[in-house]
Amino acid sequence: MKNIFFCSTLFLTIVFTYSASDKTYALSNANTVRTNLKQAMVSPLPSTQTQVKLQNSQEVKDKIQEKKSEIAQNRCERVKQNVQNRIQSHQEIRERYQKTYQNIVQNTQAKITALQTAGCNGEEMDAVLQDITTLQFKVSTFEKTYETLLATLDQNSQIACGDNPNIGQAQQEIRDQLKVMKDNTTEIKNFIQSTFRVHLQSLRQVCYTQISEQSTNDDTKE
């Protein structure tokens, strides 16, 4: 009888203990499921996160490209304005040089005509006539150099507005043309001072002597 009671008690204890453990496990598992569901509802899916990152990355790229375009456009406008100012300045300089050279040639030609009319001639006259031809050729070269300079300046503005501007090379080309132009003006200046004026002065002296002698002879005849 005692054995039967003991076995019954042990059986109930085992059943009760197992049932309580199973219930605790079930409750714990249910809580874990609910927690995972909540996290799944709050957190975006991996694919959605990837799409957001890609979208943000594209927006950053677009902003960078927009900024680059803005910088390039501003640089283009600045260079164009600077080039136009330089072109206008060089055009004014060229006009002053051209006017100076034209006046020298025209005044000299007028004096030669007057001296020839007065009866002056000789090697000095031929030398001055040759100097006028040489000076006109040098002035023509000078004008062509200036045209090349202005074209290079305009090309510089086009390069600055291109997709792959090479400002350094363009600036070097301008400096090269400026040097050629400066050399031309220096050559003309030296020619006028060292050759043209010397021959012109000699012509004046010879013509003055010839005209004086001719005038004296005319007075003697009378």
Q: What is the pLDDT of residues 198-216, one digit of tens each?
A: 999 999 888 888 888 776 7
Assessment of whether the complete model's pTM goes beyond 0.85: no
Question: What would the pLDDT profile of 93-141 be if each residue is shown by its tens digit?
Answer: 889 998 999 999 999 999 899 888 888 888 989 999 999 999 999 999 9
d(Cα 121, Cα 209) in Å, to the nearest integer? Answer: 11
Query: Looking at residue 69, what is its pLDDT?
Result: 75
**Rounded Cα–Cα distance for residues 143 and 136 (Å):** 11
The pair of three-digit structure tokens given for residue 22, joined into one six-digit string: 């199973």
What is the predicted pLDDT for the residue at 130?
94
Binning pLDDT at 50, 70 and 90, where does residue 72 land? confident
| Average per-residue pLDDT for the chain | 75
How far apart, in whole angstroms, are the C-alpha atoms of residue 72 and residue 60?
18
Question: What is the tens place of the pLDDT at every residue in 152-176?
Answer: 887 776 666 665 556 667 778 888 8
The pLDDT score that the predictor gives to residue 31 is 54
pLDDT at 44 > cutoff 60:
no
Q: Which of 191, 187, 193, 207 is nearest to 126 (CA)?
A: 207
